[in-house]
Amino acid sequence: MFHDQVIYIIGDAQVPQNNPISKQYNQFFLGVAVDRTNGIIVEVDCSATVELTVKFIRSMLVNRRISDEKIIQDVQKRYFGSSQKALIVALKDVQRKYSQITALPTST
């Protein structure tokens, strides 16, 4: 499904106690598959409890560059679920990890 230059990164964040995600998962997790050669997000999944939420988040992120600074702004403008803050924190975590990973030399 994924070629050998696609890497998988998990970002996570705390969610409020009253959020359904906290009842099921304790945290919000954002899994992102990124093409290491160009930084394009090829697939996304998350620990949302509503399937439409996962689909919506996926639609906002897939085919965009992980380093695109406007991703966070787009989430703030378009996603109004109770886990918005957690999604942003998890996305920033993924961006940070991607920067660290891609700064390392690739093994051949």
User: Per-residue pLDDT tens for 90-100?
Assistant: 999 999 999 99
Q: Give the C-alpha separation, 108 to 81, whole Å.
A: 42
Our separate counts of H helices and E strands in the chain read 4, 3
Global pTM value: 0.86
What pairing do the DSSP bridges indicate for beta strands 41-46 and 27-35? antiparallel
Distance CA(36)–CA(29), nearest Å, equals: 21
What mean pLDDT, rounded, does the chain reach?
89
Would the pLDDT of 49 be above 90?
A: no
What is the spatial distance between Cα 16 and Cα 52, in angstroms, rounded to a whole number?
20
For the chain, domain boundaries: 6-103
Give the residue-averaged pLDDT of 99-108: 78
Quick one: fold of 6-103? Answer: Sufe protein. Chain: A (3.90.1010)
